[in-house]
Chains A and B, each alone.
Chain A
Amino acid sequence: NAGVMQNPRHLVRRRGQEARLRCSPMKGHSHVYWYRQLPEEGLKFMVYLQKENIIDESGMPKERFSAEFPKEGPSILRIQQVVRGDSAAYFCASSPVGGQRDEQYFGPGTRLTVT
């Protein structure tokens, strides 16, 4: 059973470009969570999605950030017009249907560098 997959693992973007981060949850998991980790800090919740639904986006910045989890395919975290402050590690986690939602399984992360 493959774990949570994220790609790319490393992403470099210039200021003003768009960043697209992808996450495929574990097989059998239908809940996806995105987190951001700044250097020497813990993970900060961004958004919680189920298939075709955003359940909680209370941690998402109001502008430039969006997330989706379509019926088919991976979840996407999109950052438009990136700025240097967006440089961070972005982690995706998933949890199973019917399981405890706070028991989450994490992917390896995407490290975004904005130059």
Chain B
Amino acid sequence: AQSVTQLDSHVSVSEGTPVLLRCNYSSSYSPSLFWYVQHPNKGLQLLLKYTSAATLVKGINGFEAEFKKSETSFHLTKPSAHMSDAAEYFCVVGGGSYIPTFGRGTSLIVHP
């Protein structure tokens, strides 16, 4: 069994400040973990993925995430937010099953 919890439904930051989107997971298997971004009325785009290689994963658009097994976390970060980062972000756990489990999403709001 697997589950994923995104700890914040909304995160609000100012442009140029760091972004932290939190995700905790549980899995009976060695998990694969993903972050997707969804802009309004668009499909989901893969930002980055962890598949048991390096624990610090770099993705597109300056995002990265760190897999911490002891904390069962996979938080998404970016050093400096840009207006175009405003979107919905989904943390996803897979592995052991071909059916990935999606978190409920975190809405990132970026203020000028």
Residues of A participating in the B interface, judged by any CB pair closer than 8 Å:
4, 6, 31, 33, 35, 40-45, 48, 55-56, 58-59, 91, 93, 95, 100-109, 111
B105 contact set on A, CB distance < 8 A: 40-42
Residue positions of B touching A, CB distance < 8 A: 32, 34, 36, 41-46, 49, 51, 90, 92, 94-95, 97-100, 102-105
Closest to A3 in B: B43
Residues of B with C-beta under 8 A to A41: 104-105
The residues of A that contact B46 with a CB separation of less than 8 Å are 103, 105
Task: Please name 19 further chain A to chain B contacts, defined as beta carbons within 8 Å, in addition to the given A42-B104, A102-B34, A102-B100, sorted by A numbering.
Answer: A31-B98, A33-B99, A40-B104, A41-B104, A43-B90, A93-B44, A95-B98, A100-B32, A100-B51, A100-B94, A102-B94, A102-B98, A102-B99, A103-B46, A103-B51, A106-B36, A106-B44, A107-B43, A108-B43
- CB-CB under 8 A from A43, the residues of chain B are 44, 90, 102
In the complex, how many angstroms separate the beta carbon of B38 from the nearest chain A beta carbon? 9
Contacts of A104 in B (CB 8 A): 100
Contact, CB under 8 Å: B32 / A103: yes
CB A42 to nearest CB in B, in angstroms, measures 4
Q: Compute how far the CA of A102 lies from the CA of B46 in the bound complex, rounded to whole angstroms.
A: 12
B102 in contact with A102 (CB, 8 Å): no
Shortest Cβ gap from B71 to chain A (Å) = 22
With contacts A43-B90, A103-B32, A106-B43 taken as known, whether A48 is within 8 angstroms of B49 at the C-beta atoms is no
Closest to B99 in A: A45
Neighbouring B residues of A6 by C-beta, 8 Å: 43
Q: Which residue of A lies closest to B93 (CB)?
A: A102
**Bound state CA distance, A35 and B105, in angstroms?**
15
Contact across chains for B43 and A109 when beta carbons are under 8 A apart:
yes
8 Å CB contact of A111 from B41, B51, B102: B41
